[in-house]
Structure 1
Amino acid sequence: MHRRSTFIRVVAVGAAFLALAGVAGSATATASAASRPGREAAALTGTAQLDRRPGDEATVTLDAHLDAKDRNDPGAAHGTIKISHYMEHPKFGGSAEARVDCLLTGGKVATASAVITKADGGLTGAVGKRIGVTVHDQGKHDRFGYSWAMVGIPNDLPDDMPKCVSAAPFDKTRPGSGDLHVRPMDQRPGGARARL
Structure 2
Amino acid sequence: MNRRTKIVAVSAAVLLTLGAGGMAAASADDSHRPAPARPAVSEAAALTGSAKLYRPAGDDITFSFDAHLAEKDRQDPTKATGTFRFSHYKGDRGGYAKVKVDCLTTGGKVAVVSGVVVETDVKEFRKARVGVTVHDAPGGDRLGYTWMTADPQKDKVPPCLSGAPFEKVEKGTGDFEVEPWEFIHPTE
Does the 8 Å contact 1:64/1:80 carry over to 2? yes
CA distance in 1, matches of 2:163, 2:74: 23
Match of 1:112 in 2: 113
Match of 1:124 in 2: 123
The alignment's TM-score, normalised by the length of structure 2, stands at: 0.74
Match of 1:101 in 2: 102
1:146 aligns with 2:149: no
What SS does the corresponding residue of 2:127 show, helix, strand or coil? Answer: coil
CA distance in 1, matches of 2:124, 2:154: 10
CA distance in 1, matches of 2:184, 2:89: 37
**Any residues of structure 2 matched to 1:20-59 within 5 Å, and which?**
22=30, 38-59=41-62
- Structure 1 residues not aligned, in runs of 5+: 1-13, 192-196
How many angstroms does 1:124 deviate by? 3.3
What SS does the corresponding residue of 1:75 show, helix, strand or coil? Answer: helix
CA distance in 1, matches of 2:185, 2:145: 25
What SS does the corresponding residue of 1:179 show, helix, strand or coil? Answer: coil
- State the superposition RMSD in angstroms: 2.7
Match of 2:183 in 1: 188
Match of 2:14 in 1: none
How many angstroms does 1:54 deviate by? 3.5
The counterpart of 2:73, out of the listed 66, 70, 73, is 70
CA distance in 2, matches of 1:82, 1:139: 23
The counterpart of 1:79, out of the listed 73, 77, 82, is 82
What SS does the corresponding residue of 1:83 show, helix, strand or coil? Answer: strand
What SS does the corresponding residue of 1:165 show, helix, strand or coil? Answer: coil
CA distance in 1, matches of 2:161, 2:80: 14
- Structure 2 residues not aligned, in runs of 5+: 1-21
What SS does the corresponding residue of 2:88 show, helix, strand or coil? Answer: strand
Moved over 3 A (4+): none
What SS does the corresponding residue of 1:166 show, helix, strand or coil? Answer: coil
- Closer/same/farther in 2, CA of residues 174 and 106 from structure 1, 3 Å limit: same
Does the 8 Å contact 2:141/2:174 carry over to 1? no
Larger of the two Rg values belongs to structure: 2
Aligned pair count reads 161
CA distance in 2, matches of 1:133, 1:108: 14
